[in-house]
Amino acid sequence: MTRLRNAGTRTSCMLADDIKDLIQESYRQLLKSRGLTPRYGQRLMIAEIAKQLAVIGGARVPTKEQPTAQASANGPVSQVVQAAESLKAPVCVIEAGTGTGKTLAYLLATIPLAQALNLKVVIATATVALQEQVILKDIPELLNGSELDFSVALAKGRGRYVCLSKLDALLEPNDSLQAMLDLYGEESVDLGESDARLYQGMLDALSEGSWDGDRDSWNRPIAEQEWRPLTVDNASCLGARCSNFRQCVFFKARESLDQSDVIVSNHDLVLSDIALGGGVILPEPARCLYIFDEAHHLPIKSNNHFAANIRIRSTRAWLERTGDLIAQLLAEDFIPVDSQSSFDKLQSILQPRLEEYWQMLQPIFLNEGEIHDKRSRYTFPHGILPPEIRDAAGNLFSAFSQLAGLFANIAEELKIELEETSDLSRKELAEQFYPVIGGAQRRAEGSASLWLAYSQEDDLTKPPIARWMTYQEDDTQIETTLSASPVLAADNLSEKLWEQCAGAVLTSATLSSLGNFNLLKLKAGLPESTFFLSIPSPFDFGGAASLTVPNMGCEPSDTESHTAFIVAALPHLLPEPVAALMLFSSRRQMVDVIERLPEDFQNMVLCQDDYQKAQILKYHRQRVDQGLNSLIFGLASFAEGVDLPGRYCEHVLIAKIPFAVPDDPIEMTLSAWIEQQGQNPFMTLAVPDAAFRLVQASGRLLRSETDFGRITLFDERVFTKRYGKQILASLPPYRQERIEIPDA
């Protein structure tokens, strides 16, 4: 793999000697304690991260600028808005191949520096498995194997902690609360005998101090329907006004974050925090040095956090229920008559406007929607709405904004009641109403966000917002869902993260594509001064693995012939004992292949549709341990995060080059915008993305330096198409083979 480097325009600096010495000595101690020899890639990663972050505060000492090799890191679309050149926070992108030891590298490089500058190191992973590895394995190894001394906390959102007030309310409901829950469908709970025992057990465990209120530390897995009634979100939390605030398990956990040097979190929690303005869940971004592991997930997760949607039918039903809630608040004398009058007025406006909006959309569905069974989806070309639909959305935005404001005012009324009343029962009832009003406020604000996105005209100099609608019919109802999402995370991440944080490191085994970081830079809005580096894996790819492409005589676009070839080829390619993984881009093709395989092969298949991912991997290992044949069939989610070393996986089969689904609304809108800029969306987006996915998929084979095996790709386009040859050249240097499959 070619090493890519780019120091941007930032002046080179060097670490203060005491910090540099501490990092070097800690590394030597760690290697000695574990009986390891230094790895070139790991040493390089430590040195480059430390050097790039040395520009932060007093940790830097100017030195003469050193020449660096330049990477092709400037994206093809110059119109993408980048962070200003005056940005002071360093951003460092390190692609570290499997076997580099990247987790210990970034821990060693960042913790001494952060401690010297009184900054928090926030490690954000994309998966629970990596989060557990960092908190349970890597950090303890570093603490035990070196003289570094730092404190660690695991950060989780409110949804992972029990709300004491909701637990009390569920175990001791009063008539007013029960009436409220009954009318508010999604909040109601039918407390059965088993639920009552569970909740009482939780209360007892909290009282005894044997449980900390964390869902993950309860003595058994808790089903979602059991847990959901016990939690609140930011909008529904009373904070310091809550009668249980001093005992609140979430705020106790939150305090531990302020006292810790290193915080282990996940991408979603970091994005939730910055979406709220930063410093709400985690420490303020300016006090944080972020490390995004599995950083290739960050742009997609960011888009999800800044997306919006609304279901028209269910929103109308929700408004009806909320009218009953407002009436009950008035009956309990928690709100003035004016509040109910305001709500009634807004409801009388919103209900017909929602119906009118549906009537405006219906002809588009009927005439232009792509209908599959009883489901139809329509993506607005370039994200542009007809003027009348945009204007109508503006009116709905205004009304839902007023509704959200009304709920905010009611929430304030309840807070005042909590502070001023001396009536204990009335105070308890106000506490019980507050989360429901908070939830209503959040839903109204979410709806307003969608209508705002539908009412605005996009700035033609920037990437557009993708806007689409889905129509779904079943035996009982018809539902229309409207959605909007950024097509690139660039603006949001630039404004809310890169420009606000003290510094950031993005790392993963795969971040570049086709030999450059263009795609990541485009989608994540990385500053022009970002430093890029690719560290090759220490694995002997050529000696350990072969990449085999059968002579097929057909392309994947000929679905029938392609599927028939795979079915005929598998028995020849998988001699016993079988320990293999096959990856598909299409669920339909995966099912077709299973149905056509001989019975003995069907019996060895563990299909993604039949079990959860963790169960499949467990069953597969058990089969291999017992000397049985086992073949996993999976889709994109199995192309990463699957670790089957050694004999657990000696053959990875890939149905075709993993191009993204062409009808995804976000990708469609982004592709159209790229084309408007005079670029080729296929070569700018689709090919680099497919190359990236193929590197990840093939990477399931070699998980350690002693692994070996074969990768089979059922797609001749890597040899017959120009873009295919580019993709092939971007793969690790496996031995390449063309083979004939008899009778296939």
Distance CA 375, CA 361 (A): 15
CATH number, domain of 707, equals 3.40.50.300
575 and 696 fall within a common domain? yes
Domain hosting 415: range is: 308-485
Per the domain annotation, does 404 fall within a domain? Answer: yes
Give the CA angle between residues 383, 384, 390 to the nearest 5°. Answer: 120
528 and 547 fall within a common domain? no
Per the domain annotation, does 566 fall within a domain? Answer: yes
112 and 211 fall within a common domain? no
Share of the chain above pLDDT 70, in %: 90
Q: How confident is the model at residue 296 (pLDDT cuts 50, 70, 90)?
A: very high
Q: How confident is the model at residue 26 (pLDDT cuts 50, 70, 90)?
A: very high
Distance CA 378, CA 601 (A): 40
Q: How confident is the model at residue 190 (pLDDT cuts 50, 70, 90)?
A: low
DSSP-derived pairing of the beta strands 651-654 and 5-6: unpaired
Residue 179, pLDDT score: 54
- Which backbone phi and psi does 415 adopt, to 5 degrees? -65, -40
Per the domain annotation, does 338 fall within a domain? Answer: yes
Residue 371, pLDDT score: 59
Distance CA 492, CA 416 (A): 35
Measured CA to CA in angstroms, residue 210 lies from 203, 217, 474, 484 at distances of 10, 10, 47, 45
pTM: 0.87
Per the domain annotation, does 262 fall within a domain? Answer: no
Which has the higher per-residue pLDDT, 148 or 85?
148
The DSSP secondary structure of 543-562, one letter per residue, reads: HHEEEEEE--SS-TTSHHHH
pLDDT digits (tens, 9 = 90+) for 323-377: 989 998 999 899 999 999 999 999 999 999 999 998 998 888 777 766 555 678 8
Per the domain annotation, does 288 fall within a domain? Answer: no
- For residue 559, pLDDT over 50 is answered with yes
565 and 713 fall within a common domain? yes
Q: Do the beta carbons of residue 248 and residue 273 sit within 8 Å? A: no
Q: How confident is the model at residue 191 (pLDDT cuts 50, 70, 90)?
A: low
pLDDT digits (tens, 9 = 90+) for 206-246: 999 999 999 988 988 898 888 988 888 887 788 888 888 88
- For residue 672, pLDDT over 80 is answered with yes
Q: How confident is the model at residue 178 (pLDDT cuts 50, 70, 90)?
A: low
436 and 456 fall within a common domain? yes
451 and 339 fall within a common domain? yes
- For residue 71, pLDDT over 50 is answered with no
Residue 744, pLDDT score: 67
Q: What is the mean pLDDT of the chain?
A: 88
Per the domain annotation, does 278 fall within a domain? Answer: no
- For residue 99, pLDDT over 50 is answered with yes
Q: How confident is the model at residue 67 (pLDDT cuts 50, 70, 90)?
A: very low
559 and 528 fall within a common domain? no
398 and 505 fall within a common domain? no
- For residue 14, pLDDT over 90 is answered with no
Distance CA 530, CA 90 (A): 7
The DSSP secondary structure of 476-504, one letter per residue, reads: S-EEEEEEEEES-SHHHHIIIIITTSSEE
Residue 477, pLDDT score: 75
Domain boundary among 461, 485, 509: 485
The single-letter code of the amino acid at 359 is Q
Q: How confident is the model at residue 456 (pLDDT cuts 50, 70, 90)?
A: very high
Distance CA 231, CA 453 (A): 29
Q: How confident is the model at residue 65 (pLDDT cuts 50, 70, 90)?
A: very low
Q: Do the beta carbons of residue 741 and residue 569 sit within 8 Å? A: yes
196 and 334 fall within a common domain? no
21 and 103 fall within a common domain? yes
570 and 590 fall within a common domain? yes
Per the domain annotation, does 711 fall within a domain? Answer: yes
- For residue 66, pLDDT over 80 is answered with no
Domain boundary among 251, 271, 291: 251
Q: What's the distance, CA 527 to chain centroid? A: 21
Q: How confident is the model at residue 663 (pLDDT cuts 50, 70, 90)?
A: confident
327 and 412 fall within a common domain? yes
Residue 427, pLDDT score: 86
Per the domain annotation, does 112 fall within a domain? Answer: yes
Measured CA to CA in angstroms, residue 377 lies from 131, 142, 306, 591, 667 at distances of 36, 51, 21, 24, 14
Q: How many domains does the structure of the chain reveal?
A: 4
The DSSP secondary structure of 228-251, one letter per residue, reads: GGG---GGG--GGGSTTGGG-HHH
| Longest CA pairwise span in the chain (Å) | 86
Domain boundary among 251, 273, 292: 251
Q: Which residues, 6 or more positions from 86, have their beta carbon under 8 angstroms from its beta carbon?
A: none
pLDDT digits (tens, 9 = 90+) for 268-283: 999 999 998 898 889 9
What the block records as the tokens of 47 is 């040195």
Q: Do the beta carbons of residue 697 and residue 583 sit within 8 Å? A: yes
Full strand arrangement of the beta sheet holding 5-6: 5-6, 531-535, 91-96, 503-508, 288-293, 120-125, 262-266, 152-154
